[in-house]
């Protein structure tokens, strides 16, 4: 790198003597991609492959022995792993629709011609999406305290007493969903808003000439036109939820009784609390498999859209 820069830093030289350049347009792209590719080979490609091999090994200290599929067969008999899969999917199936419809509603509200100060609203709604997940989780952990938390205080004003937000299995899941929804709704809303702005306005004009009301227009024009944005947000949220870690790690540490243990949290504990690298790699590969299936479904859905 260093040598190359010295040459290019002397442009006058080039113009005086039309000397042959070392960095020809033919070689240039390879030089430009080299840093990215080298880094990816070392820090992504190698670990992905190495992790695959690890998932068939048992690691004791520095000793690694091949154990065939036994990590995987153990996974299928591991109740905590099943629990973490189930939890992750429960969170996903409940949280993603709530968040996506909320995001869409807010976006439609903001997009409406009646609303002024759209930029200001957009900034305010987007604020949670810039905070560290850990900061959000900590703040909510305090807000959701069973005895002294503000949330239960407000609820008590309406006669609802003592919800065990972080200590009952049901409410602990609800808390994780609450924090995720707070953190990500604005983010998805911004994406929907941009999608709404891309819908040609003559579609609506034509519809209102035909006598279609606002509600009809929403279901006949807005929703179908937003289909690609829908797919994008749902898939991104799904993949994000599959990797959920920070919120349950801080809020509940996976408890009570593993009610909020997620796949990634279980992977972290297996790998870095119990140092079972082989087993943790098998967990990671199940995660890869699930993500691949979801991405494949997404490609199918988008592909159908092109027809």
Partner 1 sequence: MITSNNLLAKIGIYSFLIIGVLLSIAPFYWMFVGSTLQSGEIFHLPPKLLPGTNLAENFQSLSESIGITKVFFNSMFIALTYTVVSTLISAMAGYAFAKFRFKGGNGLFFIILCSLMIPSQVTLIPLFEMMVSFNWLNTYQAIILPGLAAPFAIFLMKQNMKAVPDSIIEASRVEGAGEFRIFFSIILPMTRPALAAVAIFQFMGQWNSLLWPLITLNSKEMFTLPVALSSLIGMARIDYGQVMLGTTLATIPIIIFFLLLQKHFISGILGGSVKE
Q: Which of residues 237, 254, 267, 269 is near partner 1 by CB under 8 A? A: 267
Cβ 27 to partner 1 shortest distance, Å: 8
Q: What are phi and psi of 65, to 5 degrees?
A: -125, 140
Per DSSP, 19 falls in state P
Query: Which residue stretch of 23-31, 65-73, 79-87, 200-208 sits at the interface with partner 1 (rule: CB under 8 A)?
Result: 23-31
249 binding partner 1? (CB under 8 A): yes
CA 51 – CA 243 distance, rounded (Å):
17
- Largest Cα separation within the chain, whole Å, is 87
Q: Which of residues 66, 69, 109, 218 is near partner 1 by CB under 8 A? A: 109
- Can you spell out the DSSP letters for 45-78? IHHHHHHHHHTTEEEETTEEEE-TTHHHHHHHT-
221 binding partner 1? (CB under 8 A): no
Q: Which of residues 67, 94, 98, 138 is near partner 1 by CB under 8 A? A: 138
The residues that bridge with 64 in the sheet, in sequence order, are 59
Q: Cβ closer to partner 1: 93 or 134?
A: 134
Per DSSP, 93 falls in state H
Binding mask 269-298 for partner 1 (x = CB under 8 A): --xx----x--xx--xx-xx--xx--x---
With b for 16 or more beta-carbon neighbours within 10 A and e for fewer, the 148-160 pattern comes to ebebbeeeeeeee
Q: Is the peptide bond before 35 cis (omega within 30 degrees of 0)?
A: no
Nearest to 129 by CA among 106, 108, 111: 106
Instruction: Please answer whether residues 258 and 83 qualify as being in contact, where contact means their C-beta atoms are separated by less than 8 angstroms.
Output: yes
Q: Which of residues 114, 158, 161, 303 is near partner 1 by CB under 8 A? A: 114
Q: Which of residues 86, 124, 160, 223 is near partner 1 by CB under 8 A? A: 124
Q: Which of residues 125, 165, 171, 184 is near partner 1 by CB under 8 A? A: 125
151-170: which residues touch partner 1 (CB under 8 A)?
153
Q: Which of residues 67, 94, 98, 139 is near partner 1 by CB under 8 A? A: 139
110 binding partner 1? (CB under 8 A): yes
180 binding partner 1? (CB under 8 A): no
Q: How far is CA 78 from the centre of its chain?
A: 26
CA 29 – CA 135 distance, rounded (Å):
41
Residue 191 token pair: 């994406």
Cβ 73 to partner 1 shortest distance, Å: 20
Q: Which of residues 3, 68, 148, 215 is near partner 1 by CB under 8 A? A: 148
225-244: which residues touch partner 1 (CB under 8 A)?
228-229, 232-233, 236, 239, 242-243
Helix (H, G, I), strand (E, B) or coil at 114: coil
Residue 176 token pair: 């994780």
Query: Which residue stretch of 78-86, 179-187, 202-210, 216-224 sits at the interface with partner 1 (rule: CB under 8 A)?
Result: 179-187
Q: Cβ closer to partner 1: 81 or 140?
A: 140
CA 51 – CA 95 distance, rounded (Å):
30
Cβ 302 to partner 1 shortest distance, Å: 12
Cβ 129 to partner 1 shortest distance, Å: 8
Binding mask 29-68 for partner 1 (x = CB under 8 A): xxxxx-xxx-xx--xxxxxx-xx--x--------------
| HSE-up of residue 261 (Cα within 13 Å, Cβ side) | 16
């Amino acid at each position: 790198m260093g040598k190359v820069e010295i040459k290019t830093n002397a442009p006058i030289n080039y113009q005086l003597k039309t000397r042959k350049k070392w960095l020809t347009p033919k070689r240039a792209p390879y030089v430009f991609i080299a840093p990215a590719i080298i880094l990816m080979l070392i820090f992504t490609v190698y670990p992905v492959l190495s992790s695959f091999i690890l998932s068939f090994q048992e690691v004791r200290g520095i000793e690694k022995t091949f154990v065939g599929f036994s990590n995987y067969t153990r996974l299928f008999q591991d109740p905590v792993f099943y629990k973490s899969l189930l939890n992750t999917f429960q969170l996903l199936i409940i949280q993603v629709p709530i968040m996506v419809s909320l995001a869409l509603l807010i976006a439609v509200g903001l997009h409406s011609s009646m609303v002024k100060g759209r930029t200001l609203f957009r900034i305010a709604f987007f604020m949670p999406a810039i905070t560290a997940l850990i900061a959000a989780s900590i703040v909510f952990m305090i807000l959701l305290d069973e005895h002294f938390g503000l949330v239960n205080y407000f609820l008590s004003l309406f006669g609802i007493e003592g919800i065990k937000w972080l200590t009952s299995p049901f409410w602990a899941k609800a808390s994780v969903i609450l924090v995720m929804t707070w953190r990500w709704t604005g983010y998805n809303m911004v994406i929907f808003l941009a999608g709404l702005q891309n819908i040609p306005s003559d579609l609506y004009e034509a519809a209102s000439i035909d006598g279609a009301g606002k509600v009809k227009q929403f279901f006949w024009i807005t929703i179908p036109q937003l289909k690609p944005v829908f797919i994008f947000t749902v898939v991104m949220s799904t993949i994000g939820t599959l990797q959920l870690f920070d919120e349950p790690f801080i809020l509940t540490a996976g408890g009570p009784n593993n009610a909020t243990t997620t796949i990634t949290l279980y992977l972290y504990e297996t790998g870095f609390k119990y140092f079972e690298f082989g087993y943790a790699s098998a967990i990671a590969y199940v995660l890869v498999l699930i993500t691949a299936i979801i991405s494949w479904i997404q490609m199918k859905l988008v592909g159908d859209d092109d027809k």
